[in-house]
Structure formats: C-alpha cells, structure tokens
Amino acid sequence: MRATSQSKQKPINPAAIAARAKAYQAPMIKFLRDIVAIPSESGEEGKVIARIQREMVSTGAFDKVWTDPMGNLFGKVGHGKKIIAIDAHCDTVGVGNRTAWRHDPYKGKIAGGKVWGRGAGDQEGAIPPMVYAAKIIRDLKLPLDEFTLYIVVTVMEEDCDGLCWQYIVNEDKLRPDVVIVTDSTDCQILRGQRGRMEIGVHVAGKSCHGSMPHLGDNAIYKMSRVVREIEGLNKKLAKDKFLGTGTITVSYWECKTPSMNAVPDYAYIHLDRRLTTGETRERAVRQVREACKKAGVVAKVEVPTYERASYTGLVYPTEKYFPTWSVKESSIPVRAAVQTYKSLYKKTPKVHRWTFSTNAVSINGMFGIPCVGFGPAPESVAHTVNDSVPIKHLVDCAAFYAAYPYAYCATKILRPRESKAKVKAKPRRATKSRAGRRTKPKAHRVTKPRRARRMSASRRRSKSRRR
C-alpha cells in the first residue's frame, strides 16, 4: 500500500504550535477551574455553557459562536470544504458522598500537577485545549482555506451518550467529514469502542398477606430466577479481539408491594448491556427474552426511551440503543492522528480503544461519520472521587487539536500498488545440463489448436494394424 500524492498545503511548524500551547497553560488552567466550579449535571448545563461561550468570544479566534435549540455550543473557524469537528461534553455526573473527596469537587483545586474536581477528567478538561487550539491557529496565522473547524461543546452525554449529536446531524444539519472525540484517552489515540444499550424487564406477581405467602406469587422470587439466568449470559456473549467481550449486568432493581408485610406483586430490573462487534439490538433483546423463558418466568422485555428535557426545555426522544463502532488503523483520521502525535511529541503513539462509551456511538455508530479519539485524563478517573486531569495534558491537547486539521488535510487515501492481474510472471532461471554447461531457459512453447481433418480409409486401416 502507498499513499497518493500529498496536498500542496505549506507545512506547519509543530514546534511553534507546541510553544504557543505552552504559553497558554495559565489561562487554560484558570478557565478549567472556573468550569469545574459550576455544577453541570445532565440537563443543568446552562450556566457552564454561558461561561464557556464567554471565553470563546473573548479569544477573538472564532468567526462565529452560537448555541442550538438543544443548548449545544458551537465555535466556527475557517472556510474550507473539509469539515472537521472537535467534540467535548460539558455535563457531569453528580458528586455522591462529598466527604469521600480528597478535595472539594467544585473548587478546581491544583495539587500534584493536576486540576481536581468533578468533571476535570470526565471531561471538561478537554474544553480549554479545544478553545485555545483555535486561538493558536489564529495567532500563528495558519492557513484556513482547506478546512472549516467546528469546536462543539455538547450537553446530556452522561445521561444519554450521543443524543446531542443525533440532534446536531438530524436537525442542525451539521455533518462533519471527521470528528475528534476528546472524552478521556490519557493523551493516547483511540479508534473504537463497544456499543451499549439499556434493557428493562418487568415481572408481575400476585400479592397476599405476608403471613400466608403460599397464597401469592412473589414477583421478587420470580425476578431472582431471571437475574441468575442474566448473570449466566456473560459466559455466552460474543468476543472481539480489538473491542473486547460483550457484557450484561443488572444496574437497578425495584419492586412494588401493598405494604411491608405483603408479598410483592411487581418487580423490575434495569440492565446495562455492552455490545461488541456483531452484537445487535435485536440479538441482545432476544437473549434476555430467552433467559426469562429458561427461568420459567413470563416477563415483558423492552428497550426504554430517553425523554428528559435539556436545559433549554427541548425534549428529543430516543431509544436507549447506542451502536458499536470502530475505524481502521489505516483510515485517514487515525493516520492523521498518528502523524500529528509524531510531529509534536517525537514518538510513536499507542493506538487502542475506549472501555466506556462516548458521543461517537451516534456520530460513527449511527451516522457513519469517521471518529478518532484524543483527550486528556485517563478513563480510570471518570465518575470517581479522584476526578482530575494532569496540567500537562491541557498543553499537549491544545497543540494536538491545533495541528490535527493540517495533518488530516495532507493525508490521502491508501490504494494498492498494482492489482494481481498486472503482476508480471517471474522469468525462469538458467539451469545446468548434465554435461555441466549452463543452458538458457527454454522458452514457453505455444501450441496452436489443430484443425480437424478427415483421415483416409487406407491410413485408418494401417493405424488399426499397428494397434
């Protein structure tokens, strides 16, 4: 395989980009601390979006800054044909038990070379580098005629990953050629993830007084048999060498009962199902139904719908099914990412996959838009009391996001050198005769088809006698 000719675009200076990113370390830290200090759980991102928007405008880097009806925030730079987007979600999960935190989750504490707080690692830490990448491009007066860059700050990812991009593609009509997904990669290049879906299981029973349980039909006992079968499914789910194994787990259980001394007449479990290559919505639902049947329980199995309003009040319903996706290591987005990394950091990056889920389940999984992952902080800090991001990652990511569009525009499609049909046969080697003399290789003898002819009667008789 070989690359086609490169773009005529003037080469950029990676060292100048890296130096400018380092120069913006202090303002990026301040910006991130401001963001972390604003609680922004899913559906409540309005205040943090406003703060980010002010920063984007103040840099003077963007041609346009705006929000859509869902509340997603956009900044546009450039006017070229190739559409490149960099995505980060600004919503976070809750803090849980605040006494378990080493540092106040809403202070953006600086300690040990990191910024600490809810969302610092997952994944507001990517937003300052994204914004300042646009400023770096402007400061260095890098060309903007080949691509248009969109900095996209999305909402509601923690509640319903990819819903924001369903709206962006379907309603905003923005369909990039490539998207950098910045959700926690520890500054490594990622190119895929398992999909996921949620499944609800409802079981009905019959209530009676707790002193006479034999007169009822305990919904919890019935559901317990289902749960045992669900647990056993993990040994039977599909495996993939790159993305890993499919998994299923019970993430929530509830029941309904007339009183605390009555047999429950209803039970419900919520399942978290991770999907690997080849696993579909239909297959996953069928497996759960078969598990219920094996348990001897009549149950209703369904895929729930997400219908929560965004902070703007918009409701955009979607089924809680988020497809698996991956892109090839030889694809343009990944090769451009590798080239960007090498040019900036002078070493070869690790190319791997996410364990958790990201907005790419809709960007790539639903719409087929190529994605590549590069973002600050490791996945392991997400949703924990150790939520944090290394300050060095802010600088590294700002440089990467500024340089990537140029590597992407310069990277071309790989194509075969020659088809097998055009490969010439190898000439035969010269050989030695019995006398030891070197002889020329014999030319291939071309035989022509003989023309059919009649044999004379006398010749037929002569041939017959020889036999």
Residue 231: helix, strand or coil by DSSP?
A: helix
- Residues forming beta bridges with residue 75, ordered by sequence position: 65, 151
- Residues forming beta bridges with residue 111, ordered by sequence position: 114
Residue 449: helix, strand or coil by DSSP?
A: coil
Strands 195-204 and 300-302: antiparallel
> Which is catalytic among the residues 91, 139, 158, 229?
91
The question of whether 282 is a catalytic residue gets the answer no
Residue 354 to residue 373: CA distance in whole angstroms: 9
Residue 16: helix, strand or coil by DSSP?
A: helix
Q: Are 388 and 381 in contact (CB under 8 A)?
A: yes
> Which is catalytic among the residues 55, 124, 157, 229?
157
Residue 269 to residue 2: CA distance in whole angstroms: 53
Strands 371-373 and 178-181: parallel
Residue 384 to residue 126: CA distance in whole angstroms: 18
CA angle 313, 274, 184 (to 5 degrees): 65
Residues contacting residue 21 through CB under 8 Å, at least 6 positions apart = 129, 132, 133, 136, 395, 396, 398, 399, 402
Nearest residue to 149 (alpha-carbon basis) of 54, 81, 58: 81
| CA distances to 204, 206, 312, 384 from 210, in Å | 17, 12, 48, 41
The question of whether 139 is a catalytic residue gets the answer no
Please state, as a whole number, how many other Cβ atoms lie within 10 Å of the Cβ of residue 78. 21
- Residues forming beta bridges with residue 152, ordered by sequence position: 74, 87
Residue 258: helix, strand or coil by DSSP?
A: coil
Nearest residue to 402 (alpha-carbon basis) of 24, 33, 52: 24
DSSP letter at 214? Answer: G
DSSP letter at 206? Answer: B
Name the residues annotated as catalytic.
Answer: 91, 157
